[in-house]
Amino acid sequence: MELLRHISRFLFPKRREELYYSLKSILTFAPHNLELYKQALLHKSMLAVDDNGQQINNERLEFLGDAILEAVVSNYLFRKYGKKQEGFLTTMRSKIVRRSTLGQLSKRTGLDSLIKSSILSGAHNSYIGGNAFEALFGAAYLDRGYSCCQKFFMSLIERGFLNPDKLEQKEQNYKSLLLEWCQKYKVDITYETEEFDSSDAKTPPFLCYVMMEGHVMGKGRGYSKKESHQQAARKALQRIKERPRVSQHLMEDKFMRLVTEDVFTSSVSQTL
């Protein structure tokens, strides 16, 4: 009997683990290295550390998964929409990989129930779920390769978890997209709006400036504050996409702001 147990463990090393079955159901293929997936589901709020005292969380896998997911989605859209231009493909990709969409996918597939986090249920859940979904792609890529990531993505469509046709018809919310980008990279953002009295009906009365780390990143006019904010956010997103150095400068300004804030907080604490 003991020999049979050893043989069973050798042939089916992970079958007894609940996580194995859950992941296999979500991914539609068998995971090999469960440790990778455990890390993909580990939020930084758990403050987990390894044997060397180094913090363990899913942020590195999220970084990798973000790139893999974009590549998989880009390939899918390129083949699905053979006659569409680059602008349409970019918009569609952003609708699929945006944090709110990934958060919904996390819930629909049941991935959110597997995430280890010390943060209580609330507004951050969609963000945490979306990050974990990206990290899952990173883990799947390291564990089973790019083709399995493609298989997983296509299964989301085939099982009805993701409907690109509905997303295509959905109006783009540029302000939400920009906010998601700023939250992801911890960039400070504010909107400043001016209203002008104008007898010219062709000139929208509202002018909005979107400020990121203290810099004007986009201007937008509209016949309502909401419309002017959307136009300003759209231009800011376009600027970030088309000019990589803009993102680099924002990261540098963010770093200097955080350093200054830390120095100020430390100084106040010592004074008190």
> What residues are labeled active site?
66, 134
Q: Report d(CA 110, CA 104) in Å as an integer.
A: 10
A 10 A CB-CB count for 151 gives: 17
213 close to 250: Cβ distance less than 8 angstroms: yes
Q: Report d(CA 100, CA 77) in Å as an integer.
A: 19
Q: Report d(CA 57, CA 116) in Å as an integer.
A: 10
Query: What tokens were used for 43?
Result: 């939020």
172 close to 91: Cβ distance less than 8 angstroms: yes
Find tokens 């540098």 and name the residue: 252
Counted residue by residue, the chain has a size of 272
